[in-house]
Chains A and B, each alone.
Chain A
Amino acid sequence: MNAVDLASSYDLIVIGGGPAGLAAASLAARAGVSTVLFDENPGVGGQIYRGITSTPVTNRLILGEDYWAGEALANEAEASGAVVVNGATVWSLDPERVVGVSIAGKARLIEARRVIIATGSQERPFPIPGWTLPGVMTAGAAQTVLKAQGLLPDGRTVMAGTGPLMWLLAAQILRAGGKIEAILDTTPRRNFLRASPHLPDFVLSPYFAKGLALLREVKAKVPVRRVSSVAAVGDGKLREVVSDRGRMPADLLLLHQGVVPNVNLALAAGTAHAWNERQLCFQPVLDDHFESSVPGIAVAGDGAGIAGGTAAAERGRIAAIAAVRALKPAAAVPDPQSVRQRLRREEMGRAFLDWLHRPADSFRQPEGDTLACRCEEVTARQVRETADMGCEGPNQMKAFLRCGMGPCQGRLCGLTITELIAAQRKTTPAEVGYYRLRPPVKPITLAELASLPISEAERKAVER
């Protein structure tokens, strides 16, 4: 669909086509609510079900049954009557629920009575020495091209980090016939103490058996070393990975230390956020129906706080039920209690995983010449020294150092800058706060802006 074919308003706009967005749009459309879903990627699925309708990886054992569960969600959305638009970049959302979207180089402002933000999560920044070298990528990046394009790491591949996704990707690479030289596990040993009170819930959760099986599968084929430092070394290109347990030559280093909510759009829309100390990230302040502090705007899925893909779908359904009830009180919706029950089951075991895989301070708060801001190439030392000079927050830090002002708009430095300032000034990230984000949250060209329809009154207002 092209931008010009869109209606000027919809009852519900869903932003993001991962599990939360797909489930929300399907439920609302089936209840008779006019629904459009905008997704930036070429196909639906979000990150977890990336390429679900088009993947060339047809051997189902490689990506696993949890991946293929996404097929049902994609089919459901397709059959629901929701308008699903891929290749649609949402660059603005204001508190009056006007959505700025660009499709194939043409921009439109579309109004909605309700908006569900389902922009999901991103990988937590992993600021180690050399993390900007070609040859260093996130584990999620390697998983993305495996799912969507069937690309498999080739050459000497090393993984470093902590968290379930790292082990899942390792297993997928191995099943596809790939090779991993080593996994450098950065999980701090003392984390287990903090996690252990939550062990009983974890054992009863669906994660337990799957997690153990994955670990066994990977450890049978890949040497795993516990490390407390990791650096990527090379001149213009990765050559070796150096840790406190030695050096090894490498062509590809895949980094991962968990995921955090992708907050840019929700923050730019003016929704209140709060620091989550267990998950070490900011997340929106939401009510039981995932409604934010801005009326009519909900945030569902991992963007509401990390809980995983299956929980994301249930959260999307809860947000959609609330939207349908507000827009069309007589419409039939599924029983919210049973949805909540499934959500509670999916959320079981999360506390254990969060505490166990909480990255060490040294992997979140870099030192010296390590880049904190990749875009503007600002080092940790610069940030720490500027905080010592009296800089109190990330927005002031922008004025001093330009961190957060490059093309990624703080996505890969925001948490690092907040935490570095908090550490230097002996205060908390909650106190320091986050970058103030403003639209456009994705870059758009002047030509796209100029393609916005202009009314006669608007034209007369500026013409002499």
Chain B
Amino acid sequence: MFKRLAEAGAAVALTVDGKPVRAVSGDTVAAALLAAGIDHCRTTPVTGAPRAPYCLMGICFDCLVTIDGVGSRQACLVPVSEGMKVETQQGKREAGR
């Protein structure tokens, strides 16, 4: 859905659901997911429908993901960092996260 105009920042290596994803410093987690072509970041607790980032400004909460073990973080507000482990969220929240 999106391509990078220019590779301005240094490369940052993340994993998303265990798979390596190459991001750029200055990316938020949500931007990195979009740039990597990951088409949804969670499924809803109510019907299991897939959701992707919608507003990218902290309003919609559709970009919730698990980051380094902490669940339901707003991917659009968290800058990427080297070695970060991102997991998409499926359905209802799991106990302990």
A and B from one complex: yes
Q: Which residues of A contact B (CB under 8 A)?
A: 40-42, 47, 51, 54, 56-58, 87, 89, 122-123, 132, 134-138, 140-141, 144-146, 148-155, 176-177, 236-237, 251-252, 262, 374-377, 406-408, 411-412, 442-443, 445
Min distance, Cβ A218 to any Cβ of chain B, angstroms: 19
Contacts of B77 in A (CB 8 A): 40-42, 87, 89
Tell me the B residues contacting A by CB distance below 8 Å.
Answer: 1-6, 8-9, 24, 26-28, 31, 34-35, 39-40, 44, 46-47, 49-62, 64, 70, 72, 76-77, 79
**Does B2 contact A145, Cβ atoms closer than 8 Å?**
yes
Query: Chain A residues near B52 (CB, 8 Å)?
Result: 134-135, 137
Which residues does chain A contribute within 8 Å of B3, judged by CB atoms?
A: 151-152, 154
Q: Taking the nearest CB of chain B, how far is it from the CB of A54, in angstroms? A: 6
Q: CB < 8 Å: which of A87, A89, A154 contacts B1? A: A154
Across the interface, which residues of A come within 8 angstroms of B54, CB to CB? 132, 136-138, 141, 374
What are the residues of chain A within 8 A of B44 when measuring CB–CB? 375, 377
Other-chain residue from A137, A149, A154, A177 in contact with B31 (beta carbon distance below 8 A): A149
Q: Is the CB of A406 within 8 A of B5?
A: no
Contact check, B46 vs A141: say whether CB atoms are below 8 A apart. no
Q: Contacts of B62 on A, CB cut-off 8 Å? A: 132, 374
A-B contacts, 27 of them at CB < 8 A, read A42-B77, A42-B79, A58-B6, A58-B8, A89-B77, A132-B49, A134-B52, A135-B1, A135-B52, A138-B56, A140-B56, A140-B57, A141-B56, A149-B35, A150-B8, A152-B5, A153-B2, A154-B1, A155-B1, A236-B49, A236-B50, A237-B40, A262-B59, A374-B62, A377-B47, A411-B59, A412-B60
Inter-subunit contact B5/A150 (CB<8 Å): yes
Please measure, in the bound complex, the distance between the C-alpha atom of A236 and the C-alpha atom of B62, giving whole angstroms.
Answer: 14
Residues in A neighbouring B61, C-beta threshold 8 A:
375, 406-408
A56 to chain B: which residues have CB within 8 Å? 5-6, 8-9, 26
Q: Which residues of A contact B79 (CB under 8 A)?
A: 42, 87
- Tell me the smallest distance from the CB of A157 to a CB of chain B, in Å: 8
Expressed in whole angstroms, the Cα–Cα distance for A87 and B40 within the complex equals 24
| Closest chain B residue to A136, Cβ basis | B54
Q: Given A136, A148, A154, A445, which contacts B26 in the complex, CB threshold below 8 Å?
A: A148
Q: List A contacts of B46 (CB < 8 A).
A: 376-377
By beta carbon, the residue of chain A nearest B39 is A134
The reply to whether B49 and A151 form a contact with Cβ atoms under 8 Å apart is no
15 other contacts beyond A54-B26, A375-B61, with CB at 8 A cut-off? A56-B5, A57-B6, A87-B79, A122-B59, A134-B40, A141-B54, A141-B56, A144-B56, A148-B28, A149-B27, A151-B4, A176-B5, A236-B50, A375-B44, A406-B61
Asked whether A411 lies within 8 Å of B2 as measured between CB atoms, the reply is no
What residues of A have a CB within 8 angstroms of the CB of B31 in the complex?
A: 145, 148-149, 151
Which of B1, B8, B40 has the most chain A CB within a 10 Å cutoff?
A: B1
Q: Which of A141, A146, A442 contacts B55 (CB 8 A)?
A: A141
Q: CB-CB < 8 A to B76: which residues of A? A: 144
Cα(A89)–Cα(B78), bound, Å: 11
Chain A contacts of B34 at CB under 8 A? 145, 151
A407–B2 CB distance below 8 A: no
Of A89, A153, A154, A262, the most chain B CB neighbours within 10 A belong to A154
| CA of A54 to CA of B24, assembled, Å | 13
Closest to A442 in B: B58
How far, in angstroms, from A191 to B62 measured CA to CA in the complex? 33
From known contacts A42-B79, A54-B26, A408-B60, infer whether A150 and B4 are also in contact, taking CB-CB under 8 Å: yes
- Docked-complex contact A149 and B55, CB < 8 angstroms: no
| CB–CB A374/B60 < 8 A | yes
Q: How far is the CB of A460 from chain B (nearest CB, A)?
A: 32
